[in-house]
Chain A
Amino acid sequence: MIPVIGLLIGVLVGVVIDPTVPLWMQPYLPIAVIAALDAVFGAIRASLEDVFDDKIFISSFASNVLIAAVIVFLGDQLGVGTQLSTGVVVVLAMRIFANAAAIRRNLFNRQ
Chain B
Amino acid sequence: MSKDSFFRDDNSSSMGLLSLLNNEIETNEYQVSENTNQVKKDPTWWIAVVLSFAGLFFGVAIANTQRQQPIVEQNRENLRKSITKSIDNLNITTQNLSSINNEIAQVKSLTPGLDFHGLNQKSETDLQIISGLSSVQGFGYEIELNDAIKTDSLDIDKLDLARIYDSDVQLLVNALWASGAESIAINNRRLTSTSAIRSAGDAILVNYQPLLPPYKIAAIGGRSIKEDIYQNADFQDLQFVVKTYGLSFKMSEFKEITMQATGVSLPDMQGIKVGSRS
Contacts and interface: CB of A to CB of B under 8 A. Distances in A.
A54 B58 contact: no
Nearest to B27: A98
Interface string A22-49: 0000100110110011011011111101
A14 B67 CA distance: 13
Interface in A20-78: 20-21, 26, 29-30, 32-33, 36-37, 39-40, 42-47, 49-54, 56-58, 60-61
Interface residues of A, number: 54
A18 B22 CA distance: 38
Q: What does DSSP make chain A's interface, helix, strand, loop or mixed? A: helix
B151 interface: no
Interface stretch (B29-37, B101-109, B197-205, B257-265): B29-37
A39 to B, nearest CB: 5
A26 to B, nearest CB: 7
A14 B59 contact: yes
B20 interface: no
A102 B4 contact: yes
A7 interface: yes
Interface residues of B, number: 41
A14 B51 CA distance: 13
B30 A94 contact: no
A32 B38 contact: no
Contact of A5 (B29, B30, B43, B48): B48
A46 B43 contact: yes
18 contacts: A6-B47, A6-B48, A7-B55, A10-B52, A10-B54, A10-B55, A10-B59, A13-B56, A14-B57, A15-B63, A18-B60, A19-B63, A20-B64, A30-B61, A32-B54, A33-B57, A43-B43, A49-B31
Nearest to B53: A36
B120 interface: no
A50 B41 CA distance: 9
Contacts of A58: 46
A44 B47 contact: yes
B27 A3 contact: no
Contacts of A44: 43, 47
Given A36-B57, A98-B27, A52 B41 contact: yes
Contacts of B48: 2-3, 5-6
Given A43-B46, A52-B40, A58-B46, A10 B58 contact: yes
A11 B56 contact: yes
Contacts of A45: 27-28, 30-31
A61 to B, nearest CB: 6
